Amino acid sequence: MPDTFDFADLVHSANELLPDLVALRRRLHGHPEVGLQLPWTQAAVADELRALGLEPRFGRTVTSVSAVIEGGLPGPTVLLRADMDALPLSEDTGLPFASEIGGAMHACGHDTHMTMLLGAVRLLVARRRSLRGKVLLMFQPGEEGYFGARFMLEEGLLGSVDPAPSGAFALHSFTNGPAGVIFGRQGPMFAAADTIRITVRGRGGHASMPAAALDPVAVAAEVILALQAMVTRTVDVFDPAVITIAHVEAGYRDNIIPETAFIEGTLRTLSETNRAAVKARIHRVAEGVCAAHGATAEVDIEDGYPVTVNDADFAAWAMGIARSTLGDAAMVETRWPVMGAEDFSYVLQQVPGAMFYIGARPPDQDPATAPMNHSNRVVYEESALAPGAALYAAIALAHADLQA
Q: Give the pLDDT mean for 111-117.
A: 98
Please indicate, yes or no, whether residues 216 and 292 belong to a single structural domain of this protein: yes
Secondary structure (3-state) at 132: strand
The rounded distance, in Å, linking the Cα atoms of 346 and 134 is: 21
Q: Is 25 inside any structural domain?
A: yes
Q: Catalytic site residues? A: 305, 382
The rounded distance, in Å, linking the Cα atoms of 355 and 345 is: 9
Please indicate, yes or no, whether residues 140 and 25 belong to a single structural domain of this protein: yes
As a whole-number percent, the residues of the chain with pLDDT over 90 amount to: 98
Question: How many other CB atoms are there within 10 angstroms of residue 60's CB atom?
Answer: 9
Q: What is the pLDDT of residue 6?
A: 81
Bond prior to 19 in cis (omega within 30° of 0): no
Phi first, then psi: give them for residue 375, nearest 5 degrees: -90, 140
Please indicate, yes or no, whether residues 295 and 349 belong to a single structural domain of this protein: no
Between the alpha carbon of residue 386 and those of residues 18, 308, 328, the distances in Å are 6, 25, 17
pLDDT digits (tens, 9 = 90+) for 165-177: 999 999 999 999 9
| Residue 17 contacts residue 392 (beta carbons within 8 Å) | no
Q: Is 53 inside any structural domain?
A: yes
pLDDT digits (tens, 9 = 90+) for 293-317: 999 999 999 999 999 999 999 999 9
Residues 6+ apart with CB under 8 A from 351: 79, 158, 165, 166, 167, 168
| Residue 297 contacts residue 199 (beta carbons within 8 Å) | yes
Domain boundary among the residues 276, 302, 328 is at 302
Between 6 and 16, where is the model more confident? 16
Please indicate, yes or no, whether residues 319 and 268 belong to a single structural domain of this protein: no
| Residue 134 contacts residue 161 (beta carbons within 8 Å) | yes
pLDDT digits (tens, 9 = 90+) for 228-287: 999 999 999 999 999 999 999 999 999 999 999 999 999 999 999 999 999 999 999 999
Please indicate, yes or no, whether residues 253 and 272 belong to a single structural domain of this protein: yes
pLDDT band at 403 (very low <50, low <70, confident <90, very high): confident
pLDDT digits (tens, 9 = 90+) for 311-322: 999 999 999 999
CATH code of the domain in which 275 resides = 3.30.70.360
CATH code of the domain in which 165 resides = 3.40.630.10
Q: How many domains does the chain have?
A: 2
Please indicate, yes or no, whether residues 95 and 132 belong to a single structural domain of this protein: yes
Question: How many other CB atoms are there within 10 angstroms of residue 15's CB atom?
Answer: 16
Please indicate, yes or no, whether residues 201 and 271 belong to a single structural domain of this protein: yes
Domain boundary among the residues 302, 334, 355 is at 302
Please indicate, yes or no, whether residues 200 and 293 belong to a single structural domain of this protein: yes
Q: Give every strand in the sheet of 192-201, ordered side by side.
A: 241-250, 260-269, 192-201, 296-302
The rounded distance, in Å, linking the Cα atoms of 142 and 57 is: 17
SS (H, E, C) 222-284: HHHHHHHHHHHHHCCCCCCEEEEEEEEEECCCCCEECCEEEEEEEEEECCHHHHHHHHHHHHH
Q: What is the pLDDT of residue 54?
A: 98
Q: Which residues pair with 205 in a beta bridge?
A: 257
pLDDT band at 2 (very low <50, low <70, confident <90, very high): very low
Please indicate, yes or no, whether residues 180 and 116 belong to a single structural domain of this protein: yes
Please indicate, yes or no, whether residues 228 and 242 belong to a single structural domain of this protein: yes
Please indicate, yes or no, whether residues 143 and 44 belong to a single structural domain of this protein: yes
The rounded distance, in Å, linking the Cα atoms of 230 and 286 is: 11
pLDDT digits (tens, 9 = 90+) for 332-391: 999 999 999 999 999 999 999 999 999 999 999 999 999 999 999 999 999 999 999 999
Q: Is 1 inside any structural domain?
A: no
| Residue 41 contacts residue 31 (beta carbons within 8 Å) | yes
For residue 100, what is the enclosing H or E element?
none
Range of the domain at 148: 7-189+307-403
| DSSP 8-state code for residue 91 | -
